[in-house]
Amino acid sequence: MRRVLLAVLALLLPVALVGCVSVPTTGPVMEGQVIDPEVRQDITFLPSPPQRDAEPDAILRGFVDAATGTEDNYAVARQYLTPAFAEQWQPQQSVLIREGIESFIPTGTGDEASSGVRVDYIATVGGSVDAAGHYTELPSSQSVTLSYTFEQDAEGQWRIADGPDGIVLSRADFDVLFSQHSLYFFDQTTTFLVPDVRWFASRSQTSTRIISALLAGPSEWLQGAVRSAFPEGTALSELSAVTVDDDGIAVIDLSDEALTASDAQLRLMRQQAEQSLRNVPTITGVRFTVDQTPLTVPQGGSEATIDPAVDDRTLVMRDGEFGWYSGGAVGPIGSLSGKVVALQATAATLNSQITGAAVLAPQGVFGVRTGDTEPVLLDDRPGLVPPSIDQQDYVWSVPGDSPYALQARPVDGGDPIAVSTTSLPEASRVVSIDVSRDGSRLLLLLWSDSGPRLVVAGILRSSGAPTGLTQAVLDMPLDEGTALDATWVSDHSVATLIETGEGRLVEQRTLGGGSLRLGTVDGATRIVGGNSTATVPAIRALSGNGTVYVRAASGWAAVIRDVSFIGTQQ
């Protein structure tokens, strides 16, 4: 019989794999194929409707399982609810991501034949997504209890009469059903597009939710640091969804405020919308309308840069030479190299044009330019951490033991600017600071008695000069241990180096997403990010004995030895 069943399955399997795949949510556990994230939009869950005469705990179990069915606004899940509660329930309000087991505990009082029965749902949660698509990763899995009350309908069938909004998904189901999207906003100069990572259900009006979130504006921690090209108050027209025509063009019907946009503004609006929708399958472009009337966007105009690239070579100080390492030798960077060496530098960050640098030396932080100009001492306070330099050529510096004494100063000299840091969480010291390559965000690795903290804040500016950090910050959890260094890997991801019980651990984190452990590097003291490929993050690590390691597909490989320090290009 077993051979017969296997033979039948072998015949049916090719048929099942054609077109849209249906995934059952009940039945015995069976081994299947690994899901490819590139084709997960072709997977459909088919949750079961309520079983007749099921007890309240079974009804709740079915309701939780039905959260995998996003079609028709969670139509199957609503069948488990009373008509009144089905109209009120808001599944998009939140997503709790379950790690491990779940429990269904009847806790209500009274006669089970009457109304008022309650069942508690208890699960261990490792993350959540709110109504705007913001993902929050918990530092350690936490137990959550959700309470549901039940009533019997006219036929004596139990239905959920009250409970919290939102849904609960296992980590595996979340990874299939939800996808990461970057909403794009401009830096203050409209030179760069800055990502704001959100998460949306892959098969539940994804395009509409992305554009609605884009029009609502950036996350709180980016407000004031970035801007939108859409005129204030612009929204999707009333009851309008984003539609996609046969050519893959997303048709976005906007409110009347869009009519006030200039030609230049319209071009920027199109860039924002196209880039924000670029990870949605089948969409190839956008078209704006107002009250179904086409809104003409002029051609031309320059395109803003996304994820600025840096030189692929490693920037090092080695054997008294500073520059790009290639072919076994250090190549000088014009007149910069000699000046950096003469300062006896211990850290250096180049600007994006490679015409200037922020340098840490025994005397303090210096601004260094190419040409005949001498280095300028910008900050001589004791205990300074390695400085950073931004797109406007302001050098950022701070003493490690004074988190709230952050300052910025032009690379050529000038009055120092005290950067307001009142929004930073309490910390005993700053370990590292790094301005993003688009100049809109500041990455800070902090250390406190409670452990390491990784914070990203938006940078506020006036006429290009930094004035402060955004009131809200993105505060990301870290493993317990000693904070050593942090770096930008791309425009939406960073890496940290933490001394843990496992060794010196490198971990990559998405801003507004999850984290990925990249293994340990013996004796590592510093990390620097570069240009990542689709499969391998471009991260270099320097050990205390002067060995530079690079991240490879199989782990960490030593590539350069006898290095004094590795530098960063903005």
Given a contact cutoff of 8 angstroms between Cβ atoms, the answer to whether 178 and 92 are in contact is: no
Check whether 40 has a pLDDT greater than 50: no
Classify burial at 17, counting beta carbons within 10 Å of its beta carbon; exposed 0-12, middle 13-18, buried 19 or more: exposed
Alpha-helix residue ranges (DSSP H) falling in 117-262: 171-177, 206-216
pLDDT band at 535 (very low <50, low <70, confident <90, very high): low
Supply the pLDDT for residue 34.
34
User: What CATH number does the domain containing 164 carry?
Assistant: 3.10.450
- Distant-in-sequence, close-in-space partners of 257: CB < 8 Å, separation ≥ 6: 230, 231, 232, 233, 234, 235
Q: What is the pLDDT of residue 115?
A: 53
The answer on 337 and 395 residing in a single domain is: yes
Q: Are residues 116 and 254 in the same domain?
A: no
Give the Cα separation of 374 and 387 in Å (integer): 18
| 236 domain-assigned | yes
| pLDDT recorded at residue 138 | 80
Q: Which residue has the tokens 């002029």?
A: 298
pLDDT in tens, 176-222: 999 999 999 999 999 999 999 999 998 768 999 999 999 999 999 99
Phi (first) and psi of residue 304, to 5 degrees:
-70, 150
For position 493, which CATH number holds?
2.120.10.30
Shared-domain flag, residues 157 and 291 = no
- Do residues 284 and 329 share a domain? no
CATH code (residue 300): 3.30.300
CA distances to 210, 438, 521 from 276, rounded to whole Å, are 7, 17, 36
Residue 184 lies in a domain: no
Whether residue 4 lies inside any domain: the answer is no
Main-chain phi, psi angles of 56, to 5 degrees? -55, -40
The answer to whether the predicted template modeling score (pTM) of the entire model surpasses 0.85 is yes
pLDDT band at 79 (very low <50, low <70, confident <90, very high): very high
Q: Are residues 261 and 353 in the same domain?
A: no
Residue 57: the pLDDT is 96
Give yes or no for residue 10 having a pLDDT over 70: no
CA 278, 280, 281, 283 torsion-angle sign: negative
Q: What percent of the chain has pLDDT over 70?
A: 90
Average pLDDT for the chain: 89
Query: Which of 267, 284, 306 is where one domain is finished?
Result: 306
φ/ψ of residue 440, rounded to 5: -100, -10
Which residue range forms the structural domain that includes residue 99? 18-25+37-177
Nearest-5° angle of CA 485, CA 491, CA 497? Answer: 15
Tell me phi and psi for residue 42, to 5 degrees.
-90, 5
Indicate whether 214 and 126 sit together in one domain. no
In whole angstroms, what separates CA 350 from the centre of its chain?
A: 26
pLDDT at 19 over 70: no
Write down the pLDDT at residue 43: 62
Distant-in-sequence, close-in-space partners of 148: CB < 8 Å, separation ≥ 6: 60, 63, 118, 119, 120, 121, 160, 162, 163
Per DSSP, helices labelled H in 298-375 are: 336-342
How confident is the model over 507-519, as a mean pLDDT? 92
For residues 300 and 354, state if they share a domain.
Answer: no
Residues 533 and 400 reside in one and the same domain:
yes
- Model pLDDT for residues 376-392, shown as the tens digit of each residue: 999 999 999 999 999 99
β partners of residue 313? none
In whole angstroms, what is the distance from residue 535 CA to residue 430 CA?
Answer: 31
State residue 451's pLDDT score.
86
* 329 plus 413 within the same structural domain: yes
* Residue 243 covered by a domain: yes
Q: Percent of the chain scored above 90 by pLDDT?
A: 78
User: How many whole angstroms separate alpha carbon 334 and alpha carbon 351?
Assistant: 14
Structure tokens at 35: 């899901």
Instruction: Confirm whether 192 is domain-assigned.
Output: no
Domain boundary among 306, 330, 358: 306
Which residues contact residue 44 at a Cβ distance below 8 angstroms, ignoring those fewer than 6 apart? 20, 21, 22, 23, 71, 203
Beta bridge partners of 150: 117, 160
Cβ–Cβ under 8 Å, residues 61 and 104:
yes
Residue 172 within any structural domain of the chain? yes
Structure-token pair, residue 103? 């429990």
pLDDT of residue 11: 33
| The Cα angle at residue 299 between residues 297 and 305, in degrees rounded to 5 | 100
Kindly report the length of the chain: 570
Residue 35's H or E segment, with its range, is none
Q: Is 115 or 427 the better-scoring residue by pLDDT?
A: 427
Same domain for 506 and 364:
yes
pLDDT of residue 27: 39
Mean pLDDT of 400-426: 92
Closest CA to 434 of 478, 497, 381, 482: 497
pLDDT in tens, 215-255: 999 999 999 999 999 999 999 998 788 999 999 999 999 99
Stretch 121-135: mean pLDDT, rounded? Answer: 95
List, in order, residues 6 or more apart from 117 with CB less than 8 Å away: 56, 106, 108, 110, 149, 150, 158
Residue 405 has phi, psi (to 5 degrees) of -110, 35
In the block, which residue shows the tokens 């199957």? 76
Structural domain count of the chain: 3
- pLDDT reading at 521 higher than 80: yes
528 & 433 share domain: yes
pLDDT of residue 38: 36
**CA dist., res. 245 & res. 93, Å (int):** 29
**Average pLDDT of the residues in 60-82:** 95
pLDDT at 534: 61
- Which of residues 304 and 139 earns the better pLDDT score? 304
**438/469 same-domain check:** yes
Identify whether 369 is part of a domain. Answer: yes
Would 194 be classed as within a structural domain? no
Listed residues 177, 196, 230: the one ending a domain = 177
